[in-house]
Chain A
Amino acid sequence: MPLNKIIDAIATAIDCDKQHITPATRLDSLGIDSLKAINILYDLEEEFDIEVPNEEIAELTTVHDIEVAIIKLLDAK
């Protein structure tokens, strides 16, 4: 499931407990700035072999947003 992998990637990147991350969690509430966010997205792109279009990146404010974007890209494969 993408959600677990997304949570794993975030938790690894910022060294935090996975329990604190839910679909509703906002990235900025975890102290994730834009540079950290593109690093996390890069890890997920590697994991799922996808490429998140630039224009969608700015819209990804919560964990759920990332999940939706990834599922859409996986469905389109």
Chain B
Amino acid sequence: MITGLGVVSGFGLSTEAFWQGVSQGQCAIKPLDPLEGIKMTLGARLPDYDEKQFFSKDDLPLLDRFSQLAILAATQAVADAGLTDSSALADAAAVIGSGGGGKHTDEEGYKKLYQQNNPRVHPLAIPRGMHSAVASSVSKHLGIKGPVFSVASACSSGAHAIIQGAMLIQQGLVDVALVGGTDAPFPYGLLKAWDALRVVSADACRPFSKDRSGMILGEGAGIIVLESAEHASKRGARVYAELAGYGMSSDAGHITRPDIEGIVKAMRSALENAGLQPQEIEYVNAHGTGTMANDLTETQALHRVFGEHARSLAISSTKSMHGHALGASSALELVATVLAMHHGKIPPTINYTEADEECDLDYVPNQPRDMSINAAMSNSFAFGGLNAVLVLKKKP
């Protein structure tokens, strides 16, 4: 059961700000401060974020930005779930995904070393920058003492982490798991690397629109409280929705080009795992990056998995609004999906200007839609061909 949600994103430092934004079709993608040598001009960065407002002088040296964001989201999620009993958290799990890890820390160290020819690297560079620093930090800040680790699968990291947490609960190892993802991909060197990949749009993220021109980076973190049905019921927790199933697959193919077989396999596995027929799904929160290749392949895969029912699906890409927050994306999108079910309102795909004859489904263009949703799917397909799909059912 999903009993708590926490988000920090380009919309601000709260789940409410995130939901207000995506449910009203607003855009958190803004012009970036210009940087010499960087082509990228747009991104969804946290507005007016000052780390010193949230973390003490003692904590900050150990917290890369990606860890800070996860802690902020996790703290919200725990409060939202009403998990005030510290013993519940002491036995809980935390599984946090990140595509990049502590890139700000790496960048600061390398800048000194290679650019400023300073031979000294900060002694905390390793514990601050390591991929699992976020899991340790969330654990420390919230007193979570059960199974705690990080998961990395690029843009599917959040979804893979969510699945790992669900499996820990299903195995009976824990009653509560904090799961989700985080990424802070705006250090200079990383922007340069994204420029080099030539997948970033210069003007807007327009998923499934004929004139789509690529993705736009975002930063943020999404953390979800998963709880066994028994534990949630025993403590009278408010249940948003049920994580009913999941599917995972690998393309074992091209490092960046999505593969329809892999995507279809992950979606079918998720439906089977949830015990649902394709026609029971009403809303799909698409991976929908806004690249030519993803949106076409995802549409073809939706046709293959859902058959005629594909045309009845409401499909949207919230990345058009919160940007592609890499390892955080799946978690942000799961939160968007959960709240869409909770409020009966589907966030739109914004910036949609022109129908593409090859992307021929209902992408909920530009305007949110009021619609009761009983079952939904959230897709994540990462570079490297790592696919993870989540299926939600309305609370029982």
Contacts and interface: CB of A to CB of B under 8 A. Distances in A.
A15 B123 contact: no
Contact of B120 (A15, A35, A51): A51
Interface residues of B, number: 9
A45 B61 CA distance: 17
B120 A39 contact: no
A38 B123 contact: yes
A19 to B, nearest CB: 20
Interface string B51-65: 000000110010000
B57 A42 contact: no
Nearest to A36: B58
B124 A51 contact: no
A54 to B, nearest CB: 12
B111 interface: no
Nearest to B120: A45
B203 to A, nearest CB: 43
B158 to A, nearest CB: 30
Contacts, number: 17
A59 interface: no
A35 B122 CA distance: 12
B120 A42 contact: yes
Contacts of B124: 35, 39
Contacts of B123: 35, 38-39, 41-42
Interface in A18-60: 35, 38-39, 41-42, 45-46, 51
**B57, B58, B122, B123 — which one has the most chain A CB atoms within 10 A of its CB?**
B123
A51 B57 contact: no
A46 B61 CA distance: 16
B105 to A, nearest CB: 14
Contacts of A51: 119-120
Nearest to A45: B120
Interface in B45-102: 57-58, 61
Interface of B: 57-58, 61, 118-120, 122-124
Given A35-B123, A39-B123, 10 more contacts: A15-B58, A35-B124, A39-B124, A41-B123, A42-B120, A42-B122, A45-B120, A46-B120, A51-B119, A51-B120
17 contacts: A15-B57, A15-B58, A35-B123, A35-B124, A38-B123, A39-B61, A39-B123, A39-B124, A41-B123, A42-B120, A42-B122, A42-B123, A45-B120, A46-B118, A46-B120, A51-B119, A51-B120
